[in-house]
Structure 1
């Protein structure tokens, strides 16, 4: 069975070991411990996949609690249909949030454009007034 060190995973996913330890603290990963005083973390292919799911969720902008729910679903493949339904709920909620953010951004961009246009007109009037004086 393939195993990985924290350095292996950090290198593979281009993240810091500290980030991996953070995900472990959040209950998203649970490597075994080996060596003196259990100092060395050993990750299995399953933990590697859980890290991959965590990073995918992060890339999608999901909250840590939503990511944890997804990782927990992966850990317990009891009822795939219920898990997929739950995942669809998480995605729908996140989509709604992103669509609201997009609407807010579009409103702000329209306001910025209006201020830019007004500023350019005022600047042109000011420049024109200075040339005729």
Structure 2
């Protein structure tokens, strides 16, 4: 389980660094873990804490990437947040993400980072005037 835990945590950290890069100028590394393996780990008693940490880390990474871009001369953020996750306990967030993955089984064949990112994007979209 230590190898899985390390892979998930490093994946969250790695994804955080690329979340704000939309230019495509540089190739970026994504965790090569398949979403189906992540899904299975999240359903096991021993994997739930790591699963919660990965989802929270990915959410935090997106938030920090978007906020690190800064503000324009008018004081407004240069990037409009895409994902607005309210304060949510890890178990509740995990439940929502796993529910989304259960409804989008085609995404289980791909990499975990984009699948969880898309789940958060669908589940917690920002609305005009909403902030993180």
Structure 1 or 2: more strand by fraction: 1
Q: Which has the higher helix share?
A: 1
Structure of greater relative contact order (alpha carbons < 8 Å, 6+ residues apart) = 2
TM-score by length of 2: 0.26
Structure (1 or 2) with the larger CA radius of gyration: 1
Task: Give me the TM-score of the superposition, normalised by structure 1.
Answer: 0.26
